[in-house]
């Protein structure tokens, strides 16, 4: 195949070999040279037409690829927008509207202690309302709370719960920010040891 961008051949065209005195509407006899030149021109034009058809097919294929890519990009952009909207709506539905919780201090001299083995924050607590709040609205298999009258007994129960401790349920952001290690029973070791020494 010849290159359509190549310069035109210098071969004579049928019109260029007409005698200057003969017009296009005049009758004249074609010579063999004129017929050969005409055949060559027809062949060259056919080749160029074929090359142009190939170029058009290639251009159509590239245009289809671009359109397909644009469709995919548009679909991806729409999916991304839907994802962002769903994340925004999820964040909006999980915001806590309650005021921040005030964690009650642990009272080592309390008459009653509450040991949570399963709940929002397992540990030993001296405040009944706070302990109940940490297991409120949880299914029965996701909460475990025991009430005892003695700190040493509370400590023994805590030791028993250690192998099966389970943190269940969401802790609102305000609660989590204010919870100290003491509130989940970490500092109970020191309290229990002091009671044993006394």
Full DSSP string of 58-102: HHHHHHHHHHHHHHHHHHHHHHHHHHHHHHHHHHHHH---SPPP-
Q: Give pLDDT, residue 148.
A: 95
**Which has more pLDDT, 144 or 26?**
144
Check whether 179 has a pLDDT greater than 80: no
Q: Give pLDDT, residue 1.
A: 46
- Tokens coding 72: 């995919």
Q: What is the pLDDT of residues 28-87, one digit of tens each?
A: 677 888 888 888 888 988 899 888 998 898 888 888 888 888 888 888 888 888 888 887
Over residues 159-171, mean pLDDT:
83
Q: Give pLDDT, residue 97.
A: 56
- Tokens coding 140: 């029965």
Q: What is the pLDDT of residues 140-151, one digit of tens each?
A: 888 999 999 999
Q: Give pLDDT, residue 114.
A: 95
- Sign of the Cα torsion 60, 65, 68, 70 reads negative
Outline where DSSP puts E strands in the chain. Answer: 113-119, 123-125, 144-148, 166-167
Asked whether 123 and 116 are in contact (CB, 8 A), the reply is: yes
Q: How far apart are the C-alpha atoms of 71 and 73, rounded to whole Å?
A: 5
Q: What is the pLDDT of residues 76-124, one digit of tens each?
A: 888 888 888 887 777 666 555 555 667 789 898 999 999 999 998 899 9
* DSSP category for residue 20: T
CB atoms within 10 A of CB 5: 6
| Pick from 34-38, 72-76, 129-133, 172-176: least confident | 172-176
Q: How far apart are the C-alpha atoms of 184 and 115, rounded to whole Å?
A: 10
Q: Give pLDDT, residue 117.
A: 92
Q: Among residues 176, 183, 167, which one has the least CA distance to residue 104? A: 183
Q: Among residues 97, 96, 161, 100, which one has the least CA distance to residue 125? A: 161
With bands split at pLDDT 50, 70 and 90, how would you rate the model's confidence at 126?
very high
Q: Tokens 């509130």 belong to which residue?
A: 183
Q: Give pLDDT, residue 26.
A: 58
The pLDDT mean for the chain works out to 75
Q: Give pLDDT, residue 157.
A: 92
Q: Among residues 168, 158, 181, which one has the least CA distance to residue 103? A: 181
Q: Give pLDDT, residue 29.
A: 72
């Amino acid at each position: 195949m010849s290159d359509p961008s190549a310069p035109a051949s210098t071969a004579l065209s049928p019109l260029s070999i007409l005698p200057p005195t003969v017009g296009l509407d005049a009758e004249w006899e074609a010579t063999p040279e004129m017929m050969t030149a005409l055949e060559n021109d027809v062949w060259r034009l056919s080749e160029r037409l074929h090359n142009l058809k190939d170029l058009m097919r290639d251009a159509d294929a590239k245009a289809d690829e671009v359109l397909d890519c644009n469709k995919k990009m548009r679909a991806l952009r729409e999916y991304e927008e839907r994802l962002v909207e769903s994340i925004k709506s999820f964040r909006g539905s999980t915001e806590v509207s309650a005021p921040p919780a005030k964690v009650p201090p642990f009272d080592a001299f309390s008459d009653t202690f509450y040991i949570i083995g399963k709940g929002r924050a397992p540990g030993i607590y001296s405040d009944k309302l706070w302990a109940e709040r940490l297991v409120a609205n949880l299914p029965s298999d996701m909460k475990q709370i025991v009430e005892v009258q003695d700190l040493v007994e509370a400590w023994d129960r805590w030791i028993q719960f250690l192998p099966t401790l389970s943190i269940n349920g969401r802790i609102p952001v305000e609660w989590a920010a204010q919870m100290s290690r003491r509130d989940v029973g970490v500092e109970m070791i020191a309290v229990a040891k002091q009671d044993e020494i006394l």
